[in-house]
A and B are shown apart, each in its own frame.
Chain A
Amino acid sequence: MSGQPTEGWFRHSVGGFSLDFQWSLSPSRVLVLFGPSGAGKSTALKLMAGLAKPREGKIEIGGRVVFDSAAGVWVPAHRRRVGYLTQQCHLFPHLKVNQNIGYGLRRLPAREREETVRYWLETLHLDGLEKRQPWELSGGQQQRVALARALAPGPDLLLLDEPFSSLDPELRRILQRELRSMLTQREIPVVVVTHDREEALVLGDWVQVLDEGRVIANGPPLQVLGQPGQGRVARLVGVENLLELEVESRNAEDGTMFCAAGDFRLEVPFSEPDPGDHGHPTSSLPKADRVNVGIRASDIILAEVEPTGTSARNRLPGTVTAVEPRPPGYTVTLDCGQNLQCHITRASLTEMDVTPGRRMWAVFKASSCFLVQADG
């Protein structure tokens, strides 16, 4: 089925909520649907799975048309060959682990079924747990069993609805990496719903940001989630530092400009007032001398003394006002006239003795700053 398209579009409405969505995947592609709760992500997954019928649209999975409102095609969920994984696992409580994994293999002869179950028990490190009841498992084990159950029948498309959000951060990372490496070995297209930026970055090859039933951004994960250019997307993605500044001077030759709020002054990439690629009329843009600047907390370096001989254009002194754990590292808030949040590791924290009240420097490149469009 390699090379066969898995894609579609649909319009759907439930109550007052309407969903207008299109997507496309090629095999071994992981599409992330990113967005706040209530954006329609889970509904979109259910429509792909055939658990609800869109008002209109067309859905193709591995080259097979499973829904086409124009042609009157409708393949129900149980014949779609789609794996579906939910946040709470929903392991069937009346069945043991091996029966859960074998649930979708009913049509196989007993021997083949056992072999397949055995294979998935081994692949997902569940050996020895086959006779357990679901509630006797840890959260991570439950999620692995649910994944095995979804993958065992060999689906043409895997749909993951916030698969790891009920797990603790450490376990979440481990499972994300395991899943990622398993997916690269297999040519199975995957759609992942998440509101966790890191999950999107670890798992995704492509990201669509969904908000109020519409796709508002579409692109590679680092581009969409790293330096989002739209205010709404930036807020959804959780850009840690979003600053409203005034343009002091532009230097077109260097491709930078200086922006400030009071004593707080940054050098950021140059921009001309420009309608952007979204075709908004110029009048709806903010005035040219006010800009919104985003900086990722992970792009800021903390220094004990003012660094010299560095290419980083922004070096700002400030006072540490807060240090909060953010496993596995920490988030430090530095008051430089404006609050700046930066992420550091545990090792850096102990090495530099970062404590509230301490004077430190925030250092980052001009290119780490990105301009964020204000919402229309």
Chain B
Amino acid sequence: MRILTSTGAVLGGGAGILYVLFIGLPVVALIVKAAQGGGILENLSGDFALTALKLSLATSAISMGLLVLVGTPFAYLLARSDSKALRLVDSFIELPIVMPPVVAGVAMLMAFGRQGVVGSALADLGINLPFTAAAVIFAQVFVAAPFYVRAAKLGIQMVSREYEEISQTLGSPPWATFFRLTAPLAGPSIVAGLALAWARAISEFGATIIFAGNLTGKTQTLPLAIMTSLQSNLAEALALAVLLMAGAFLILLVLGAATRREWQGRI
């Protein structure tokens, strides 16, 4: 602090207050208004809210499971391979982060929709993806995957190859080496990546509404339910919003804990 000039301190302090107010005011306003609208818990226990909550939890859990199953080996490959083709793939990994979710939804519709590139063939087999719970999961995985794969890749890269080589000479085959050594050491990064991916998946709106629609009990996740009830039952919408925000705080806690557990300087 001492290195700041008084002008700098005033400027920085002012900007800081502005920043905190700008972010904090809506958060506080949401909680205050939700509380005024009656019992938050009561509003959440209605069928409409519970159905959306259950759907969000179930679909995001499946999405995260798929992401870990497919994303982890892929992240490992990206972290360890020096292939040029993979490096090219690597540079496209973050595309879904910068792509507008609505565009992602349209793109998925073009791929898996009834008239889609793959979708028409799937439809012939009797498989219809759009406007189903599976489409919700597709949308979530699509937008959330880069957060997980990127964090997992960086975490694995921090574990130098020599550790894995030594583990192998000690009798652990590559897969055992991954579970005994690489995964625990990359663990904090992997958990942080999963937390971010989950945050993204649970808040997914744009791609979902285009590709999966807004069908209560089938594809209506929490964010979609908030939009729907905003037009009819404000108190319910606010309660759902508070719930999602609580989830966000939980993720912040997980992230903080994961960051503290990193093996920085010890790997």
Contact = CB atoms under 8 A, between A and B. Distances in A.
* Main SS class of interface, B: helix
B265 to A, nearest CB: 8
Contacts, number: 68
A77 B266 contact: no
A80 to B, nearest CB: 7
Contact of A80 (B169, B174, B184): B169
Contact of B266 (A104, A106, A135): A135
A341 to B, nearest CB: 37
Nearest to B263: A93
Contacts of A82: 169
A78 B166 contact: no
Interface in A88-118: 88, 90, 92-94, 103-104, 106-107
A77 B263 contact: no
Nearest to A80: B169
Nearest to B174: A78
Interface string B163-185: 10111111111101100110011
Interface residues of A, number: 29
A153 B170 contact: yes
Contacts of B169: 49-51, 77-78, 80, 82-84, 150, 155
B174 to A, nearest CB: 8
Interface residues of B, number: 22
B1 interface: no
B3 interface: no
Contacts of A51: 165, 168-169
Interface of A: 46, 49-51, 76-84, 86, 88, 90, 92-94, 103-104, 106-107, 134-135, 149-150, 153, 155
17 contacts: A76-B173, A77-B168, A77-B169, A78-B168, A86-B162, A86-B166, A90-B166, A92-B163, A93-B263, A93-B267, A103-B170, A104-B172, A135-B266, A149-B170, A150-B170, A153-B171, A155-B169
Given A83-B169, A93-B263, 4 more contacts: A46-B165, A78-B176, A92-B167, A104-B171
